[in-house]
Every structure is written in C-alpha cells, then in structure tokens.
Amino acid sequence: MELNQLTAISPVDGRYRSKTAALTDYYSEYALIRYRIRVEVEYFIALCGIPLPPLASVDRSKFELLRDIYRTYDERAAQRVKAIERETNHDVKAVEYYLKEEFGRLGMASFGEFIHFGLTSQDINNTAIPLSHKEAVQAVYIPAFSEVLQRLREQASLFAQTPMLARTHGQPASPTRLGKEIAVYVERLEVQFRQLLAVPFSAKFGGATGNFNAHHAACPEIDWKSFADRFVNDTLGLSRSRTTTQIEHYDNLAAQCDAFKRIGNILTDLCRDLWMYISQDYFKQKIVNTEVGSSAMPHKVNPIDFENAEGNLGIANALWEYLAGKLPISRMQRDLTDSTVLRNLGVPMAHTVIALASLTKGLDKLVINPAALEADLLRNWAVVSEGIQTVLRREGYPKPYEALKALTRTGENIDRQKMEAFIDTLDLLPDVKSKLKRITPFNYTGV
C-alpha cells in the first residue's frame, strides 16, 4: 500500500498533513540529509580559509558551485544518498561518499579526502540538527505562535471594558473584565516566549571524543578550537559547546523543550478557560452552514477547535518533557540512544503547530454574547459585598464582614433591591450610603 495521507500511521503525516507540511523541510529524513550536506560543504569551504596547505590550490570561484550542491538538493539527490547508505549501512558516511561523487563532477576529486576531514558523525549530526531545528522555529513555530498571540492581544483590547463575573473555585467572585482575563494569557505567553528565545541553539564540533584528536595529529600548528568556534558560531549561526564528549550534551535543547512545554501548558489553560466561557454562553461561535456539529443533534456547534488544540498540546507536552529528560543523559563518552530519540524532535513540534492552527481558527470563530455576561452579573449581586464591607471598614463601622456575611451567605438570591435595603439599615452618613449604592456588579471591576 502506498504511503499517503490516508495510509500514514501518524496523524501528523496523515489527517493533519496540511498543517504540518512546512515542517518537512526541517525535520524529515529528506531534510536531515540536506542539512548534513550543507554542514559538510561549509566545513570544507571553511578549511580552505585557514588556509590548510593541501587546500591552497582549491579554486575559490567554485565555492558557490559547492554551495549549489545543497541549494539545488532535491529528491533525486536524497535517493542517491539513501542508495549509498544501503551499502555502507551508515547514514553520515553515505553523505560523505555522495559529496565525493559531486566533487568529482565539479573537477575537484583530488580534494575529496578533505570532506569530513578529522570529523566524527556527531560533528555533523550535532550541527545539522540544531541548525534545522533553529530554522524550523524561526520559519514555522514563531509565525504560528505569533498569530495566536496577536489574536489574544486584539481580544484583550477589544474586551478591555467588558465586565464579567469572575469565578474562583468555580463559584461567583468579585467581577473582572473579559479583556483583562485574556490579557493574563498575553503576559504569561510573552514572558515564556522571551525565555524560549533566550536559549541558544547549541552545537557540538570537536572530533571523536570532543578533543580534536585527529585534527591536532594531522595539523598541530592550527588552533582548531578557535576554528571550530568561528565555523559553528559565525558560519552556521549556532552556539558551540566547547567542552564535550562525542556528542552535544543537549542541556540547552532540553531547556528549549521545557520552554515549549511551559508555553504549551499556558495554551492548554487558555483552551480550557475558553471552553468554559463557551459552555457558559459568554461566547458563541460563528456558524458555518456546511459544517455539522453532531451526527445526531442538528443544533450543536461544538468548541472542537479548542478541544483539538488541547489534545495536541497534551501529546506535544508529553514528548517535550521526555526529550528534556532523556537527551542530556548519555553513558560515558556517548551511547546511541540520543540518535533515535532526536529523530523525533519534529513530532512534538508538529503537534504544537497543529494546536496553534486550531487555536487560531477557534479564536477567529468567537463571538461575544453580552446578554449572557450581563445576565450572570445581574444574578449575582452578592459579589459586591466584598467592596461594601471594605468601605465600611474604612468608615470604622463595627464588624462589617460579619454583617455582609449574614446578608449574603444564606443560599438566597441577592438582587439590587435587597442590597440597597441592607445599605439603608446601616448607621452611616447619607453620602456614604449613596456611594455604596453606586457599587454594582457592572462597575465593581477594579482597575
């Protein structure tokens, strides 16, 4: 059976392919080969700039042709690398042999032994993967996240003056404003997003056990540590971990995974709150005539976008947490567990992107229902008792908390008339009573 959107085992590549297709350029096997080729080519060019004596005769005008190897990389090239891999049973060595073929095509076969010079596979993997991950975050994650954040900013502004009954422990509480409650999520997300962006995309580049053994043996006169710093930091735009084993220690990648998880937790909290606001009829959802909400109940318009987002965030967060806990742990100078685990880096990113798309869609469908918000406030005049008893404290009134408790904690409904009648019984100056009567569930929303 041919692999396609209908036959794919994972919904990431099946049902949700339209939402995750952009990630193919960064996290697929196809993409990993391209990034490996890119690192190998740039490394060779960097060696030519030391200068390394055996490379002194390299025609510098061919550098752009070398870069075209990864710039024009296509499925044919990927298939050729995979064909070589079937013989070598080694994925990075297959890239090296492929590049030697390409060097021959460009008349540079005599320099072929300086491809992968002094390197181990992890010098390529631990630069190619963080580079692809960095560019995926920049090209896919940040725009998708920014769309959600912008929608929330707009709604926080739009509903800034809309009073809403708050609920603490699920019970009626001092009123708030709908825009402020959305602004809570804006601030939380902005803070965590800044922390995510502050984490470097770290890379390892130092030979078989991190000590440049082969490099130093071949060319001891060269400062290989400085060379590697320039190559990783300046050429590739990553941050070189300088003291390593055979592999990157992944501590910064773990910090990124934790940051993605924290953002995911905040978005999960948002999804659940919006779901509740919809269930309370504070929000209605735009109706699309062709859509079906329930196979049995024709009237249903379900909050499926927020449910879909919550579910995908849950899967993503489970994987982000696992990656953060697993990747920094490796036996001695290395074991291979990181290799197979790291190939799944795109999976939680895919579920995150699916969730962000669903959230954006859900936010765009929200329609405020002022009547429901107003009705809820009218049913709960007791919530102004906090403000009234606080004013009474200021006025020196005896036991104001207890007086309001006796009025409101009876299980009976408190409306405007009952509250004003209570105020009339208080031994206060007329202007104080007048001020107390002006406190309503609609204006008792703080600052």
User: Which of 44, 311, 280, 303 is CA-nearest to residue 181?
Assistant: 280
Number of residues in the chain: 447
Report the relative pairing of strands 366-368 and 283-285 from DSSP bridges: antiparallel
Q: Is the preceding omega at residue 51 within 30 degrees of 0, hence cis? A: yes
Per residue, what are the HEC states of the chain?
A: CCCCCCCCCCCCCCCCHHHHHHHHHHHCHHHHHHHHHHHHHHHHHHHHCCCCHHHCCCCHHHHHHHHHHHHCCCHHHHHHHHHHHHHHCCHHHHHHHHHHHHHHHCCCHHHHHHCCCCCCHHHHHHHHHHHHHHHHHHHHHHHHHHHHHHHHHHHHHHCCCCEEEEEECCEEEEEEEHHHHHHHHHHHHHHHHHHHHHCCCEEECCCCCCCCHHHHHHCCCCCHHHHHHHHHHHHCCCEEECCCCCCCCCHHHHHHHHHHHHHHHHHHHHHHHHHHHHHCCCEEECCCCCCCCCCCCCCCCCCHHHHHHHHHHHHHHHHHHHHHHHCCCCCCCCCCHHHHHHCCCHHHHHHHHHHHHHHHHHHHHEEECHHHHHHHHHCCHHHHHHHHHHHHHHCCCCCHHHHHHHHHCCCCCCCHHHHHHHHHCCCCCHHHHHHHHCCCCCCCCCC
Catalytic residue, from 18, 157, 279, 294: name it.
294
* Structure token pair of residue 91: 């994925």
Catalytic residue, from 57, 169, 226, 299: name it.
169
Q: What sign has the CA pseudo-torsion 7, 12, 13, 16?
A: positive
105, amino acid identity:
R
Verify whether residue 121 is a known catalytic residue.
no
* Structure token pair of residue 292: 């079906």
Verify whether residue 385 is a known catalytic residue.
no
Residues belonging to the active site:
169, 294
